[in-house]
Amino acid sequence: MKCLMDHIVINMTHEDKMLDFYIKVLALEPERVTAYREGKVPFPSVRLNPDTIIDLFPKRLWEKDTAAGEGFRNMNHFCLAMDKDSRDDLLKRLASTGTAIEEGPVPRWGARGTGTSVYFRDPEGNLIEARTYENMPEN
């Protein structure tokens, strides 16, 4: 299967420190930070390169699923972008192995704009998002 890393999602508890670190220390370009601070979008992001972003999830987006403190999981999920044929093949393999789709297909915003996503877990419980965009090149 051919795919690209679209985005990584990191849970955060100290929003200002995290934004300062990724924007000022790592010198990554901010995405939607002003809109986030104005309450217009649910989370801010920083851009690694033209194809990949890191989303920074505030506590209200993850606190129901992951408790802070010992055992706190910073990684929320990662996303693989792929063309529709690859996604359809993946869905068939997931079904054949009894791997449940937890959510989707649903529209979601990512490194290339809005796409269609499905979510499922690996055997260790890590959440994976598989996304297609209308403009994804075919394999």
- What integer best gives the mean pLDDT of the chain? 87
- Percentage of residues in the chain having pLDDT higher than 90: 51
The string of pLDDT tens digits covering residues 69-103 is 555 567 788 899 999 998 998 999 999 999 999 99
More confident residue, 138 or 10: 10
Backbone angles phi, psi at 11, to 5 degrees: -75, 140
Distances (CA, A) of 11 to 7, 45, 122, 139: 13, 12, 19, 32
At residue 13, the pLDDT reads 84
56 CB neighbour count, 10 Å cutoff: 25
Delimit the domains of the chain by residue range: 9-64, 76-139
Q: Does the pTM of the predicted model rise above 0.75?
A: no
Backbone angles phi, psi at 68, to 5 degrees: -75, 170
- The answer to whether 77 and 126 have CB atoms below 8 angstroms apart is yes
Name the superfamily (CATH) of residues 76-139. 2,3-Dihydroxybiphenyl 1,2-Dioxygenase, domain 1 (3.10.180.10)
More confident residue, 65 or 19: 19
Cβ partners under 8 Å of residue 133, min gap 6: 81, 110, 112, 113, 114, 115
At residue 64, the pLDDT reads 78
